[in-house]
């Protein structure tokens, strides 16, 4: 029983490790870029459905979607790999 409680406390301590401020900011930036890109893509489709022609800026802003996905993905992968080593 004593070993079981020690393992449980070790696991909960690992889960509560504070992440680096830079990692947290990078993840939030990646998610924000992705959401802005999705909103731009949605508005492009909505304008097409309404019969209009979207402005070029929407196409440029929609490029933030894959950029944000890439930033968020690599931030998660790189920070997860570093924590697993500990």
For the stretch 40-65, pLDDT in tens is 999 999 999 999 999 999 999 999 99
Q: Global pTM?
A: 0.69
- Cβ neighbours around 82 below 10 Å, total: 11
The pair of structure tokens assigned to 38 is 């999705």
The pair of structure tokens assigned to 3 is 């070993």
- Cβ neighbours around 30 below 10 Å, total: 20
**Residues ≥6 apart with Cβ < 8 Å to 33:** 64, 65, 67, 68, 71
Is residue 28 within 8 A of residue 14, CB to CB? The reply is: no
């Amino acid at each position: 029983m004593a070993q079981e409680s020690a393992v449980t406390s070790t696991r909960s301590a690992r889960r509560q490790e504070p992440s680096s401020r830079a990692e947290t900011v990078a993840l939030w930036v990646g998610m924000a870029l992705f959401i802005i890109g999705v909103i731009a893509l949605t508005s492009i489709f909505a304008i097409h459905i309404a019969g209009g022609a979207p402005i070029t800026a929407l196409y440029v802003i929609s490029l933030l979607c894959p950029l944000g996905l890439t930033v968020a993905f690599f931030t998660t992968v790189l920070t997860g790999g570093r924590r697993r080593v500990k």
